[in-house]
Structure 1
Amino acid sequence: MIPRRHVSDDERRARIAVRHALAPEYRVDSPEAATRAMTVLHATESATVYLSCWARVRSADIADIDRTLYDERIVVKQLAMRRTLFAFPRDLLPSAWSSASARVANTERARMSKDVVNAGLAIDGNDWLDRARAEVLALLADAPEGLSALDVRQAVPMIDVKVSGTSGEVWSAPRVLTYLGATADIVRGTNVGRFPTTRARWTLTQHWLDDASPLGSAGDGYREITRRWLHTFGPGTEDDIVWWLGSTKTVVRTALAELDAVSVSLDDGATGWVLPDDLDEVVDPGPWVALLPVLDPTIMGWKGRDFYLGPHRNQLFDNRGNAGTTAWVSGRAVGSWIQDADGVVQVRLLETVSSQAKHALETEAARLSEWLGGVKIGTG
């Protein structure tokens, strides 16, 4: 019997350097390439897409990233896995629409329909949502440049309401638009804010993208997203993929089987999975450092994070499981970074690193300070 391939923590950290385009010689040439390297970029925090690209692209300014998002539209924001907003490579969107986004939309619809009935707005919550959808889509059909959430709310009075949710939250018109974004009826289009603020105009998906259509079944979609995740983050455990997708073990096991994924052993004794053509050892590229933003996809890529977090989980994550900024040395998160009153980036280490690594981090901090040009962003 051929022994099962073992992937050590050292090799997993080398894979981060190479696959995540973080080691300098593996950086990429465009924001689109940076997005593809990571499968998707987190976009909940408006600045994260920009700073995740900054860390991975050899040379890109804010205008380059804006052009990718809003002019070329080859990277598009979409609510998907774990009800989280991500920036997707355009060709991966159909896979999300039929799988992860559809799952979110179905969950949102069930909750909102129940809330609408409980609030006394309608006897049939599904009918109310269908009527709201029809009115919003009719409005946006005549607005190819898109409308702000405020514009939509004022033009569609039936969604200009406040509804108490079952978990105690109060929602209104933006929740309806978020739901329609998950169904892929509408999309966050042109940003009328300035970095790092996002004030998106909502527009019909068919207006924003000329090739918008779901890809087959939910299974087809999950399989393609899982395939790309494995290339970016593999090896990962079944639990890692279930958590990242916000899906079920059945979905993940089916995708892994259809991909002919290969099991490997990991240092902690767990079983990881890789694509069948990804069994060759990834060679350590040598020392490297990186400064990553809040919710960067590298820090958020796995459920099991000990191989890159070590003892620093509580210092780098909040109690909701969201990561703040991070400073990295050769595949390990060793601290964070902040900005001072003048917007200058300062590294805050949680452990002792070599003098060479400390100098490299200071150099990266200076590079990021120059790139931001005094603009303040959220760091925690």
Structure 2
Amino acid sequence: MISVPFLLGIALALRIGFFLFGLYQDEYMVVKYTDIDYMVFTDAARYVAAGASPYMRETYRYTPLLAWMMYPTSWGGWWFSFGKFVFMVSDLVTGLIVLRMLQDIRIGGKPLSHNKLIVLSSIWLLNPMVITISTRGSSESVLTVMIMMGLSLAMKNQVIGAGIWMGLAIHFKIYPIIYVPSIMLYLAKYNRGFFPTIPIVKWINAKNCTFAIMCIATVALLNIVMYHIYGMEFLEHTYLYHLTRVDHRHNFSVYNVALYYKSAMAALHTNQSDPLLYSVTKNLEKWAFVPQLGLSILVIPLIFAQQNLISCAFIQTFAFVTFNKVMTSQYFIWFLIFLPHMLAASKLLTSRKYTGIFILVLWIVTQALWLFNAYKLEFLGESTFDYGLTPAACLFFLCNCYMLGIFIEETNPM
């Protein structure tokens, strides 16, 4: 029987191994292991170290906090990998939070069995995709710590800490704002409202108001400080850019092709040459928010937040990523942090295990089909956009929608 300390030891050893292999690959292989985003982070840190703005690094679209965290990488030598160690530690801390939350679960009044606890924790701690993303230099694990801390404290009714952590997460990357309505509704279930006889506002109480105030205050304070230091470029690159982002490279999204053609038309100044295509793609990046936010920030919280907060967060995030206009492999980390908790209360590991296996295989196959066509386009120079990538993106989208339906069926109160 695998013990928890042994599991954590394996998780640590795997991350160290992946990191060391990455150093070797960067040194001796043509294709580099280190994520291009890490180079952006470290370049921004060098600007900060020189007393300049991190936004002097083109394509730096993050809060200055991240560049500040990367400051030691500007010292050179082994310090260049400092950021990766931060991300690896954050990755492990996220795993510890997931493990602790699983230990607190009670199903039918009973805790999870030891074997089930180990298996579910391994979904994060031993997941090669999770390990690869953090050891390549992606900052997603820093964000996952903030989100999991916010949610775990909210579940313990520690609303001040929950608000601060969630506010920090929203400042770091704006999408965690989708969890605020869920937490507000969850806290309404266990605390008496100010107006219990008025249906529309009966859910408002001291606990969720305190959470909201602390969350807003944290976001406001951080944004005011950053705006005072960096001015409008902070708002432009950290937030406003993402509202109109039209990234068509390495993008699994079903919006991928339309965004590609819009980008091409803008570059060629031919927006009016095809009126139909122009009408479809005009403001697409803005209209894409309607189904995405309608589901993730309104419909799903109203239905599931008071049943099971973490499963609700999983479904919200899965829907958010599925309907997002930009989707890369790193985005899968956003919902993967909640998967162990969701599976703990579902039947996808027991009586519906064949359904679980089927949707996992379907997800991998449809994703692989997209990657195959992307490889032929990018590395072999074959024209696969219209008859390869487009159908593959649509299939992957339909697969995700089907999986979303399965996950909704499997969401049980806890």
TM-score category by the smaller chain? under 0.3
Q: By percentage of residues, which structure has more helix?
A: 2
Superposition TM-score, scaled by structure 1 size: 0.25
Q: TM-score, normalised by structure 2?
A: 0.24
Q: Which has the higher strand share?
A: 1
